[in-house]
Amino acid sequence: MTPKQRAQKAADAMWSDDRASGWFGMELIDVDEGSAVLGLKVLPQHVNGHGICHGGVTFSLADSAFAFACNSRNQATVAQHNSISYIAPARLGDRLTATAREICLTGRSGITDVRVTNQDNQLIAEFRGASRAIRGQLFSEETAT
């Protein structure tokens, strides 16, 4: 199995049980080893009292992209800590894209950066996540032919 195929199978397994990302309206656009791209259209339920996309929605989109990138090797991996910097507001109707890429992976610990942009490629937020591999896999590779 190629790294891309492994990443896709891991993503399919995660997506099937990921109620939160679907509830937000996210879609998985692409995944590969150490990377993932997710999208989200800003809907009325995503907008806060200032008339802009709630920061928690932007964070959730980035966090989900982070999760798919971190788990792309079929090794169960969770977040240790995350931080986000909001650069510009996202607005109702915007199409957000979260692009995650692994910066480093050493042993069981990794760092992944996520860039959130809108449909005009304007930077909305920068997210950095630290991950930790735990026991388990997302699918059995013995039967994954």
Q: What is the pTM of this model?
A: 0.94
Q: Which residues 6+ apart lie within 8 Å of 85 measured at CB?
A: 125, 126, 127
The reported pLDDT for the residue numbered 30 is 97
CATH number at residue 115: 3.10.129.10
The reported pLDDT for the residue numbered 143 is 57
Name the domain count of the chain. 1
The reported pLDDT for the residue numbered 142 is 77
Asked, for residue 69, whether it belongs to a domain, the answer is yes
Asked, for residue 145, whether it belongs to a domain, the answer is no
Q: Residue 49, SS3?
A: coil
Asked, for residue 91, whether it belongs to a domain, the answer is yes
Asked, for residue 43, whether it belongs to a domain, the answer is yes
Average pLDDT by consecutive 10-residue portion of the chain (145 residues)? 94 92 95 98 97 97 97 95 98 98 96 98 98 92 64
Asked, for residue 75, whether it belongs to a domain, the answer is yes
The reported pLDDT for the residue numbered 141 is 84
Total Cβ atoms within 10 A of residue 46 = 23
Say if CB 72 and CB 10 are below 8 A apart: yes
Asked, for residue 140, whether it belongs to a domain, the answer is no
**Residue 73 structure tokens:** 């090797």
Comparing CA positions, the residue from 49, 46, 80 lying closest to residue 60 is: 46
> Maximum distance among all alpha carbons in the chain?
51
Q: What is the rounded distance in angstroms from the CA atom of residue 21 to the CA atom of residue 16?
A: 10
- The residue range of the domain holding 9 is 3-133
Q: What is the rounded distance in angstroms from the CA atom of residue 42 to the CA atom of residue 39?
A: 10
